[in-house]
Amino acid sequence: MKRAGLFIIACWSLLAAAEVYTTFDVKAEQRSDLTLTATGVIAAIRVDVGDHVKKGEVLLRLENADLERAVELAQADLELSEVNRRFALQSYERYQKVRDVIDEERFDQFRMAYEKSTAALNAAKAKLAYQRALLEKSILRAPYDGVISQRHKEVGDGVSGAMIAPILTMVSDKRVKLLLSFDEKHWRQVKPGAKVTYRVDGSDKSYSGSIAKVYPTVDAKSRKAYAELYAEGLMPGLFGEGTIEVE
């Protein structure tokens, strides 16, 4: 009797389980059209299509010798301001010790000189930070680990900060996301965590994974609902099909 009960439960589970047909496009987990807000001429491009890059790696720079010189001058001004403030502080502290025996007006002169040197030092720091920021804007760095997927400019091409246009396109190279689409009538059944069995065009290999998220809207034109699944080892741009297990 116990075995019969277990058999009935197993049969009921098989009947209760259902599959929803889905198609999908493989997309990079991250995709970025990289550009610069500075205006200038491209002096060097250090990467090409297919190159793997690390976050913060320099990908490209504009002709920026004038900006580099401005940073050097600002650095020199800062160093001079530090010397002047140090000297003014020493004088101020020395006369502060004998304040009671010197003319008040003369003491005020040293105090004011120290305050001016402090203000000049702060201004020099701000100027150096500003010049460094301008220089950094002429350099394009990788925003994350990834691979260069497109190159839109060449050395010698102009870049306009007023007309934002992509210079390089990069995508993340570790994980991809499968954008699953399925008939809207199943929108209540498909839930995060549901198992998906799938394959991509051009391969007979079968893969499996779990839905990470279900989109909260339905496409009004195609009457399709969407969900995402993350995977590794697949090339962005591939297409495939599969089934989603639902209750």
CATH number at residue 166: 2.40.50.100
Q: Is residue 3 included in any domain, yes or no? A: no
CATH number, residue 205:
2.40.30.170
Do 41 and 160 reside in the same domain of the chain? yes
Say what the pLDDT of residue 13 is.
45
What is the DSSP-derived secondary structure letter of residue 157?
-
Q: What share of the chain is helix, strand, coil (3-state, %, to 5)?
A: 35, 35, 30
At residue 39, the 3 state secondary structure works out as coil
pLDDT of the residue at 119:
95
Number of domains the chain contains: 3
Side-by-side strand order, sheet with 146-151: 31-34, 168-171, 146-151, 52-53
Q: Is there a domain that residue 9 lies in?
A: no
pLDDT digits (tens, 9 = 90+) for 152-189: 999 999 998 777 889 999 998 888 999 999 999 999 99
Structural domain harbouring 118: 65-136
User: How would you list the strands of the sheet with 139-141, edge to edge?
Assistant: 139-141, 58-62, 40-45, 158-159
Q: Long-range pairs for 128-131 at CB < 8 Å and ≥24 separation? A: 128/71, 128/74, 128/75, 128/77, 128/78, 130/74, 131/67, 131/70, 131/71, 131/73, 131/74
Q: Are 241 and 21 spatial neighbours (Cβ–Cβ below 8 Å)?
A: yes
Model-level pTM greater than 0.75?
no
Residue 217 lies in a domain: yes
Q: Which residues contact 209 (CB under 8 A, 6 or more apart)?
A: 178, 195, 196, 198, 229, 230, 231
**89 plus 126 within the same structural domain:** yes
Q: Does residue 222 lie within any of the structural domains?
A: yes
Task: Tell me whether residue 241 is in a domain.
Answer: yes
Segments of the chain scoring below 70 in pLDDT: 1-17, 100-101
pLDDT of residue 247: 82
Helices (H), 17-103: 65-97
Check residue 62 and give its pLDDT: 96
The DSSP output letter for 186 is G
